[in-house]
Structure 1
């Protein structure tokens, strides 16, 4: 078969592009180095429970077009992301809201909570936040920072909060209502039966061929010679043989256990925010789909430094790495044959709805 596109990676970006390409009559080859489809949104069934193999994935968006788009591949439930924090066996609601403030300070009204935070802001005397620690204290005061942000964040990124850029913490919602819904988005849920079905349906066309256990870099020059267009969703620095040096990433290690009990922790996600606990969170997968199975499956998530050969989960978007990325992007922009997409190809943190929107934008430019 003469292919129009080679897509490197069967995650959400690559699969969305493949689906759109096939709709336009293009012949597509999709390769993936893993032994399964779906990239990091892959789910597998264990004890009749859909396991989020690479960490918790909750679909959320304000974009109705994107919501309608993904719903053509699966039926979504009404799951609402309401994680809780465990700080040395003290339990707090996330995101930071009136339930959190009441537990921490005994305040009952938004005015009381805001006054408490303002008091701590003034005491810290931070005029212009220069790093994550100062940004966090400016947003929520010192008590919340010390108990619920500092330890978790430093474990997650492997650096002191004073060494991390302030923008990382700006994504964290703060509410003066008794609302434990983590996201502000209008649409939210988990696909009933897991995420893998979405990718399978996207790649079900007769015009799409899939090959797993296939490492692009083992035959890179052959692929460049054989395919007129390549959609590459791997690490951009690896594609260019690290010629400007390695970009920094954070990796993860997952420790999954099947437990002979119906309910381990009573919530899908519990974050461990103290510095001493080595993992950042425990996921109990059955709660994503309101499961009633007799057994349960939990996953402990350990952050770790990335080294070559590890999976890269999070780009480290500080000034140093962003400057290096711009050098790679200049190389990428000079490539007419290869398009770079996804979290690793664009060295940018994306939520799932943003990945789909980005892939659709790529497809529109290609086919219209």
Structure 2
């Protein structure tokens, strides 16, 4: 019989930690979740402003083809029928996304899939690129000059903080082109937003589980490791190992939230700004995620930025150098028998929400031999 206070110390109250804690508790295990932020829920945390659920860390739209994961999240909160249909602004022009027949009509005044395919192919042929050496050449080779210049180049350069000619070709393996008049961004069968916001989901997951907020694990590591038999770590894996092989790099984001005294600012939840000269990549209008009719609105401008240790890590830079560094940390992690690493920071991997939940549920099965 263990003399320790908890079976599991879970570091990080985001989706991975919350799902693991919920499932471990269901199996009779005692859990404590700690998080350095003042709130639980990680990056899907919402803040209520003027009766609107504001996605504090950027737009989160749930989508999956996995019915079991869809049923799982809906067992905590009912999801609405929100369908992601962003629009893109380039100079004074407006385009539908993803690239589809509406986009092609707006670009070239073509109406049939045949005409659109011919136009794209003729532009690809004009470039005559057989071995793309960088992202720009790869994109030109996939969709031609017009789509690249207006809908890819500026947005991508802002996102990564580098010229498209300096970015590796592998970042864009494919570009989904649809020859239908369909503005649904995701192909997934199930998609939506929790009615009442994401906090309903995360609060449902951790109901009845002890949580301590504003707690930095690394400030008193010895104490926290001493109170539980096992640790579930969802933070930065390089930090866990004292950065002994160097830092893993990320892109970060800065969000500017504004409350406006208007009922409807842009008519859509997500509007992308594709020119390099416009400093933000997109404006989110949060009320449209839940079809809100509040008298005011809240918008968020999203500015990509270089990551430093004092900034929030969002997108792992999975280039050759970082991949090699991560492999060294992963080799150490694989030797641990009392520490479980999970989530996008601990696995140095970009995850959508449904993928994190799937990963957490698989980890639970492996740990408890279900």
Task: Give yes or no for TM over 0.5.
Answer: yes
Q: Deviations over 1:40-72 (max 9, x none)?
A: 000111101110000000000000011001100
- Does residue 215 of structure 1 match 2:220? no
Tell me the equivalent position of 1:149: 152
Unaligned runs of 5+ in 1: none
Q: Is the 8 A contact 1:173 1:182 kept in 2?
A: no
Task: Tell me which of 57, 63, 66 is aligned to 1:63.
Answer: 66
Unaligned runs of 5+ in 2: none
Task: Tell me which of 188, 194, 198 is aligned to 2:191.
Answer: 188
Q: Is the 8 A contact 2:12 2:34 kept in 1?
A: yes
- Does residue 175 of structure 1 match 2:175? no
- Measured after TM superposition, the shift of residue 83 of structure 1 is 0.4
- Measured after TM superposition, the shift of residue 132 of structure 1 is 2.0
Map 1:280-319 → 2, pairs under 5 A: 280-319=281-320
Q: Deviations over 1:158-185 (max 9, x none)?
A: 1222232334334643211100000000
C-alpha distance in 2 between matches for 1:324 and 1:122: 39
Say which SS state the counterpart of residue 6 (structure 2) adopts: coil
Map 1:110-149 → 2, pairs under 5 A: 110-149=113-152
Tell me the equivalent position of 1:244: 245
- Does residue 47 of structure 1 match 2:55? no
Tell me the equivalent position of 2:267: 266
Map 1:331-350 → 2, pairs under 5 A: 331-350=332-351
Aligned structure 1 segments of 4 or more residues deviating by more than 6 angstroms: none
Say which SS state the counterpart of residue 193 (structure 1) adopts: coil
C-alpha distance in 1 between matches for 2:345 and 2:168: 20
Q: Is the 8 A contact 1:260 1:295 kept in 2?
A: yes
In structure 2, relative to structure 1, the CA distance for the partners of 1:319 and 1:367 (3 Å cut) is same
Tell me the equivalent position of 1:75: 78
- Measured after TM superposition, the shift of residue 135 of structure 1 is 2.1
Larger mean CA deviation between 299-308 and 155-164 belongs to 155-164
Tell me the equivalent position of 1:166: 169
Tell me the equivalent position of 1:356: 357
Q: Deviations over 1:117-170 (max 9, x none)?
A: 111111111223333222222221111111111111111111222232334334
Give the aligned length.
Answer: 366
Say which SS state the counterpart of residue 165 (structure 2) adopts: helix
Tell me the equivalent position of 1:26: 29
C-alpha distance in 1 between matches for 2:237 and 2:267: 40
Larger mean CA deviation between 28-37 and 157-166 belongs to 157-166
C-alpha distance in 2 between matches for 1:274 and 1:220: 45
Q: Is the 8 A contact 1:164 1:318 kept in 2?
A: no
C-alpha distance in 1 between matches for 2:233 and 2:177: 37
Tell me the equivalent position of 1:103: 106
Task: Tell me which of 84, 105, 108 is aligned to 2:87.
Answer: 84
Q: Deviations over 1:245-299 (max 9, x none)?
A: 1111011111001100100000000010000000010000000011111100000
Q: Is the 8 A contact 2:5 2:227 kept in 1?
A: no
C-alpha distance in 2 between matches for 1:100 and 1:221: 56
In structure 2, relative to structure 1, the CA distance for the partners of 1:171 and 1:328 (3 Å cut) is farther
Say which SS state the counterpart of residue 351 (structure 2) adopts: coil
C-alpha distance in 1 between matches for 2:321 and 2:45: 32
- Measured after TM superposition, the shift of residue 112 of structure 1 is 0.8
- Measured after TM superposition, the shift of residue 223 of structure 1 is 2.3
Q: Deviations over 1:22-54 (max 9, x none)?
A: 011000010000000100000111101110000
Structure 1 length as normaliser, TM-score?
A: 0.97
Structure 2 length as normaliser, TM-score?
A: 0.97
